[in-house]
A and B are shown apart, each in its own frame.
Chain A
Amino acid sequence: MNVDSSRAARARITGLTASAAAVVVFVSACGGTGGGSASPKNFSYLTNVENTTVKTALGTLSKGACAAENKTLPLKVDTVPQTSLDQKLQLLAGQNALPVQFAAGNAPALTDQLYKSGKIADLEKKLKDLGVYDQIEPSAVSTIKALYGGKLEVLPYEYNIEGIFYNKKIFSDNGLSVPATWDELVSAAAKLESKGIQPFSASGQQGWPITRLVSGYLYRSLGPDALKDVADGKAKLTDPAYVKAAQEVADLGKKGYFGKGVGSIDYDTSTNTFLSGKAAMFYMGSWVLTNIADPKQNKVGAESIGFMPFPAVSGGKGSIDQYPSNVGLAMTLGDRTFDSKVGNWVKCIGTNYGSVALKDQGSISGFKANTPVKDPNELTSQVRKTIGDSKQNVLWFEALFGTKATTVSQTNAASLLSGSMSAEDFMQTVQDALSSQ
């Protein structure tokens, strides 16, 4: 071997080594941080921009009842628009970089996927170990377990029932009584429209306030198992009885009962429209009680707003005392970062959150309110009583759908109302998305 060839061989080896090192660096850079536990430096909390209730209450706790916990593990809140939440969660989960506490996704299917892959803590066990499991209302536990395959995968920072909030003054001024049936609701809307009052306010940009009306009709007409049957494959959304529900809602849109450009209306605008007295009815969850209790947002006064269940459908199998219930946009805790400091925070939240959220914001949570709190208004008392009295709850339209079907359903909902998509096409599109998963 002469000098030149050995130099060339050395150069080749050096080149190969450098290339291999580059590949290793690249692969390791893309490979995430690996599994195992990691002690967090903050009580990091990722939530959706739209939800201000939970972060405000946690902020209050961090300065009050949980100040000691906050000193050892400071609260750090990050937000993301709700429509981008699922993407962010999946990317963070893939990199093992989920925060300590986070909004668990728009669809329970994603939360369940995270749980099954070990990214979410077994909250039932953790709460029992911390001795605060009994701080959660049994009804909230059963709602969570109904949604998440019998597991406590999320915390009930909110415990909501849904129904129609209505403007009492507009109703009485127009001689309307609370509609007990769908037909009465439609005729009340027609009367309001004829008098130049927008009957409903809804956010087409969010989509779900519209699909909730479809599921409301389905639960009243076909009974509480209407959407479970779809999830179990016993029925299809394209079956005539299901299409009829979409058609009934589409008809409301066709008649202009939701106002102009419903697809461009965001959540805040829809809430503001109702709370400024520009619309008579608003399908929403009881989390809106926070906005109703806030005089800066509610221009019509809490005493002018009533709450009614979704009306019955004549001849239907459902009952109006079956309320859709949920725990809001579910919040959960990562398994990898759940150490003793996080445990202390959770213990403090379990003991104090219920009272603080109710006292400061009129928000009803699934945590027990250990300090007696006077309800901020009569409406909150009515809703709390309804929650306490409810015997059977139902879920919402997309509760048992996967992420794709949920997105497809919510992004097409405004088209159903605007008439650019027929009821058949809407249900077919959602059914196709369901079948493709």
Chain B
Amino acid sequence: MHRVLGDRRAIAILIGPALLVYSLIMLIPMVWSLGYSFTKGNTIDGFTGNGVANFTRLFDDPAVGDALWFTLKYAVVVTIGQVLAGYLLALLYVFFLKRASALVRTLAFFPVVLPTVAVGLLFQKLFQVAPQTGPVNSLLNAVGLESIDWFGTAGHAFWVLVIMDVWRSMGFYAVLLFAGLVDIPEEVLESARLDGASGLRLVRHIVMPLSFPVLMSSLIFSINGTLKVFDSIVALTNGGPGSGTTPLTLYMFQTSFTYSDYGYGSTIALLLTVVCLLVTLVVFRISRRDLTKG
């Protein structure tokens, strides 16, 4: 094995094809996109150099600030929601349902395999106020409350998006975290119980530290996914009302493909890449700490 891995040519042969494909579909478009951010124009009129104008515009454009704020707010809330709901489900599977959890696991995982557009339409109907009153508003009416136009204000639409994305993904995180929880040796739990730990104390001092690596992986998965959220927002609100639920990804898409401004769109994409990079670095830095040492 050492002889094979010590041979540069062997390494090149092993890595080469994957590296070539990765370069073609990931690195080259990224560099290409970086190049576009110094240009102005589109595929119809062609491109001309624009210096750093797109970057200065990035700081003057209030829509970028709004989209960035929405992206971060959405990523934090949905990540907490997805991982927390997933963790609670995983605890439910392991400590309460135990061997009978297979059916509940399947049911909770079901929304993960549904197409996003279908889920978006489902939630549109659930929360609609017109032309028919949806089930959620009917429920509000039944308890004597007024119907709410959930998609009429950005604040309400944000919470519908959060509920939808947490519901859609919690089954996935539950399965991921379930795998981490079942790895905890039964003897450790048993001895903790003998020492008097139970309920929340058991979870806080034994289960959480021991499932920390998989919890961290879930957080990284979730935060990176939610920072790049696109399809669920397009399906449910299309960024509206107005631009009230427009994240950076959608603003980038609109700028490039609807407003035909590829240069500025690429600059927004670069900003998103930097944000993702920074967040990942922060998460990795936190994850290096050993929580078992307090």
Q: Which residues of A contact B (CB under 8 A)?
A: 22, 26, 83, 86-87, 90-91, 93-95, 110, 113-114, 117, 119, 259-265, 269, 272-273, 402-404, 407-408, 411-412, 414-415, 418, 420-421, 429, 432, 436-437
Contacts and interface: CB of A to CB of B under 8 A. Distances in A.
A90 B253 CA distance: 13
B152 A418 contact: yes
B242 A421 contact: yes
B254 A261 contact: no
B156 to A, nearest CB: 9
A263 B239 contact: no
Contacts of B33: none
B8 to A, nearest CB: 11
A420 B158 CA distance: 14
B239 A264 contact: no
A113 B20 CA distance: 38
Contact of A418 (B42, B43, B241): B241
Contacts of B154: 420
Nearest to A113: B44
B52 interface: no
Contacts of B153: 418, 420
Contact of A260 (B20, B129, B240, B254): B129
A-B CB proximity, top 9 nearest: A94-B43, A261-B130, A261-B129, A412-B242, A87-B257, A404-B259, A260-B130, A418-B152, A420-B153
Contact of B149 (A87, A269, A418): A418
A273 B130 CA distance: 11
Given A272-B131, A414-B152, 8 more contacts: A86-B260, A260-B130, A260-B147, A261-B128, A265-B130, A403-B260, A407-B254, A418-B149
13 contacts: A90-B44, A94-B43, A260-B129, A260-B130, A261-B130, A261-B149, A263-B149, A263-B240, A411-B242, A414-B152, A420-B241, A429-B242, A432-B62
B121 interface: no
Contacts of A415: 152, 240-242, 244
B171 to A, nearest CB: 28
A22 B258 contact: no
Contacts of A421: 241-242
A404 B260 CA distance: 9
B243 interface: yes
Contacts of B26: none
A94 B42 contact: yes
A16 to B, nearest CB: 13
Nearest to A117: B44
Nearest to A18: B20
Given A261-B151, A263-B149, A411-B243, A273 B44 contact: no
A418 B45 CA distance: 38
Nearest to B255: A404
Contacts of A90: 42-44, 257, 260
B43 A264 contact: no
Chain B binding site: helix, strand, loop or mixed by DSSP? loop
B131 A113 contact: no
Interface in B217-271: 238-244, 254, 257-261
B281 interface: no
A114 B44 contact: yes
Which residue among A265, A269, A436 has the maximum number of chain B CB atoms within 10 Å of its CB? A436
B241 A26 contact: no
B14 interface: no
B243 A86 contact: no
Interface in B174-217: none
Contacts of B257: 87, 90-91
Contact of A83 (B124, B152, B238, B259): B238
A191 B261 CA distance: 48
A87 B261 CA distance: 11
Contact of A22 (B24, B42, B62, B128): B24
Given A90-B44, A403-B259, A429-B242, A263 B151 contact: yes
A93 B261 CA distance: 14
B259 to A, nearest CB: 4
B290 to A, nearest CB: 44
A414 B45 contact: no
A242 to B, nearest CB: 19
Contacts of B130: 259-262, 264-265
A265 B244 CA distance: 18
Contacts of A403: 258-260
B140 interface: no
Contacts of B43: 90-91, 93-95
Contacts of B261: 404
A414 B151 CA distance: 10
B190 to A, nearest CB: 55
Residue with the highest number of chain A CB atoms closer than 10 Å, among B62, B124, B129, B260: B260
A245 to B, nearest CB: 19
Contacts of B243: 408, 411-412
B282 to A, nearest CB: 33
Interface string B121-140: 00010001111000000000
Interface string B141-164: 000000101011110000000000
Interface in B30-74: 42-45, 61-62
B28 interface: yes
B174 to A, nearest CB: 32
B152 A261 contact: yes
Contacts of B24: 22, 26
A408 B66 CA distance: 15
A418 B151 CA distance: 10
Nearest to A86: B258
Nearest to A85: B258
Contacts of B149: 260-261, 263-264, 418
Given A259-B130, A404-B259, A411 B44 contact: no
A94 B152 contact: no
Nearest to B153: A420
B153 to A, nearest CB: 5
A411 B258 contact: no
Contacts of B129: 260-261, 264
A113 B259 CA distance: 12
Contacts of B239: 411
Contacts of B240: 263, 411, 414-415
A418 B152 CA distance: 7
A420 B131 contact: no
B131 A273 contact: yes
B152 A407 contact: no
A264 B151 contact: yes
A420 B24 CA distance: 46
